[in-house]
């Protein structure tokens, strides 16, 4: 064997040995999302994976699971609380039976309209990271972060401009109980379903409407089985990322520090990604389905729904009890402070 061939062998042997060693040493973190490939939550989890693997020097390997691979939205929360997976998305729209207090984030006409103030509230609010985090912890979940995924848009078969138009509409909502109350107040006939059943339901006319951000309507193809996109401007889709609490509490301090930095970087990353994806999705849907009609409610029409939604905060506190009233009041104070700070900076 030539010297060069021997050197190559030695080099290859060492490289393989090192790779095997680091593979053996790598710890696996499983991260399950509630959405499909290319969707906002998946982009977040993939960027999380890239940063964590790089910054842990290969000592942590993150495996991302998309919707359906490990179960539906509610299954993922249970798997995380039980410690079978380390991280998952648990959106307030589905988490309401497990951590009822989280439903404050689903209240319409509450979060700030400006992206800056909304971003600030979702990443730093005392109500969320001080108070609500305790309710997560009591269920075995550690609240890692909260981020927005875009304005909720209704897809309907007929034009809807006022509550009376919804009288005969079976409206699919996510599985949190407050959403049933919200759509009853709006005048509809709400039905809670996991999203995997929505396309078929619309196609078979078992339901006639649903609500989601534009990127999701496009990727789940709901625009193929609908006729109108209705913009009310009442609520933002938000999601929380949670970790198993025992796993989180057992992390060494430097790992938690690294995760804090990753979290801060991802906050900006995901704000931009979701904005881009939502804007592109509307163009794509109108191209795919030229008959789709876009309806933006006027301020007067919007005010009617806003009025209908007024009792909802009180209903939520009545349903959930515990510290939910306090959390809601603190959240309102955090929102007012963020809006004031943004106005002062402009
Ligand atoms: O409508 C739903 O249930 C789903 N919507 C989004 C935007 N993400 C996941 C969630 O389960």
Classify domain 3-345 at the CATH class level. alpha beta
Phi, psi of 296 (to 5 degrees): -105, 120
Return d(Cα 150, Cα 238) in angstroms, integer.
8
Convert the pLDDT of each residue in 170-217 to its tens digit.
999 999 999 999 999 999 999 999 999 999 999 999 999 999 999 999
Ligand 1 atom 5 nearest Cα:
212
Q: How far lies 12's CA from each of 3, 26, 278, 341, in Å? A: 14, 21, 47, 58
Q: Contact 41/239 with Cβ under 8 angstroms?
A: yes
* The pLDDT value given to residue 343: 93
Pocket-testing residue among 93, 222, 223, 274, ligand 1, by greatest number of atoms within 8 A of Cβ: 93
**Cα–Cα dist 33/294, whole Å:** 30
Contact 132, 142 (CB under 8 A): no
Residue nearest to atom 2 of ligand 1 (CA): 195
Separation of 226 CA from ligand 1 center, angstroms?
A: 17
**62 neighbors 52 (Cβ within 8 angstroms):** yes
pLDDT band at residue 346 using 50, 70 and 90 as cut-offs: confident
Q: Is 41 buried (19+), middle (13-18) or exposed (0-12) by CB count in 10 A?
A: buried
User: Which of 38, 89, 209, 212 for mutating ligand 1's site (highest number of atoms within 8 Å of CB)?
Assistant: 212
Give the largest Cα separation in the chain, rounded: 87
Q: Which helix (H) or strand (E) holds 159?
A: none
Share of the chain above pLDDT 70, in %: 93
Q: Is the pTM of this model over 0.95?
A: no
| pLDDT band for position 40 (cuts 50, 70, 90) | very high
Q: Do 220 and 199 meet the contact criterion of CB atoms below 8 Å apart?
A: yes
Q: Is the dihedral of CA 160, 192, 127, 265 positive or negative?
A: negative
Query: Hey, what are 89's tokens?
Result: 């998305």
214 touches ligand 1 (CB under 6 Å): no
Ligand 1 atom nearest residue 215's Cα: 7
**Ligand 1 site-directed mutation target among 73, 95, 198, most atoms within 8 Å of CB:** 73
Q: Which residues pair with 172 in a beta bridge?
A: 191, 210
Distance 72 CA to ligand 1 centre (A): 10
Would the CB of 195 count as within 6 Å of ligand 1?
A: yes
Q: With beta carbons less than 8 A apart as the criterion, state whether 79 and 31 touch.
A: no
Contact in structure between 56 and 48 (CB atoms under 8 Å): no
- DSSP annotation of 106 reads G
Ligand 1 centre distance from Cα of residue 35 (Å): 7
Distance CA 242, CA 79 (A): 11
Token pair belonging to 167: 């009288």
CA of 22 to the centre of ligand 1 (A): 37
Cα dihedral 104, 108, 113, 117 in deg (nearest 10): 0
Average pLDDT, the chain: 94
- Residue 3 confidence (pLDDT): 54
Q: Where are the domains of the chain?
A: 3-345
**Ligand 1 atom closest to residue 213's alpha carbon, by position in its atom list:** 7
Given this model, what pLDDT does residue 16 score?
44
pLDDT in tens, 108-130: 999 999 999 999 999 999 999 99
Above 80 in pLDDT, residue 23?
A: no
Secondary structure (3-state) at 221? coil
195 C-alpha vs ligand 1 centroid, how far in Å? 6
Q: Which residue's CA lies nearest to atom 1 of ligand 1?
A: 195
Rounded Cα–Cα distance for residues 224 and 157 (Å): 11
């Amino acid at each position: 064997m030539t010297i060069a061939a021997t050197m190559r062998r030695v080099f290859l042997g060492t490289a393989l040995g090192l790779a095997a060693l680091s593979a053996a040493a790598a710890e696996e973190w499983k991260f399950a999302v509630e959405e499909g490939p290319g969707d906002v939550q998946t982009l977040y989890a993939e960027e999380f994976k890239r940063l964590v693997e790089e910054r842990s020097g290969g000592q942590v390997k993150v495996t991302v699971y998309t919707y359906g691979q490990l179960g539906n939205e509610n299954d993922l929360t249970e798997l995380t609380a039980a410690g079978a997976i380390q991280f998952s998305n648990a959106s307030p729209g589905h988490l309401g039976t497990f951590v009822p207090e989280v439903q404050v984030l689903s209240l319409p006409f509450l979060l700030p309209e400006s992206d800056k103030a909304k971003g600030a509230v979702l990443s730093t609010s005392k109500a969320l990271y001080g108070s609500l985090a305790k309710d997560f912890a009591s269920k075995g979940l550690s609240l890692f972060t909260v981020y927005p995924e875009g304005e909720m848009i209704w897809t309907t078969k007929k034009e809807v401009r006022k509550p009376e138009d919804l009288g005969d509409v079976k409206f699919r909502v996510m599985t949190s109980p407050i959403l049933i109350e919200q759509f009853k107040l709006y005048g509809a006939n709400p039905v809670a379903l996991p999203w995997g059943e929505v396309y078929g339901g619309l196609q078979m006319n078992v339901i006639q409407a649903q609500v989601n951000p534009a990127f999701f309507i496009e990727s789940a193809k709901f625009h193929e089985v609908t006729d109108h996109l209705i913009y009310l401007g009442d609520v933002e889709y938000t999601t929380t990322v949670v970790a198993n609490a025992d796993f989180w509490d057992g992390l060494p301090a430097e790992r938690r520090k690294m995760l804090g930095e990753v979290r801060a970087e991802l906050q900006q990353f995901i704000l931009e990604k979701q904005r881009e994806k939502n804007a592109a999705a509307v163009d794509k849907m109108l191209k795919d389905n030229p008959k789709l009609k876009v309806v933006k409610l006027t301020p007067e029409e919007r005010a009617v729904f806003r009025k209908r939604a007024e009792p909802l905060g009180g209903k939520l506190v009545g349903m959930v009890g515990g510290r939910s009233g306090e959390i809601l009041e603190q959240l309102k104070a955090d929102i007012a402070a963020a809006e004031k700070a943004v106005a002062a900076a402009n």
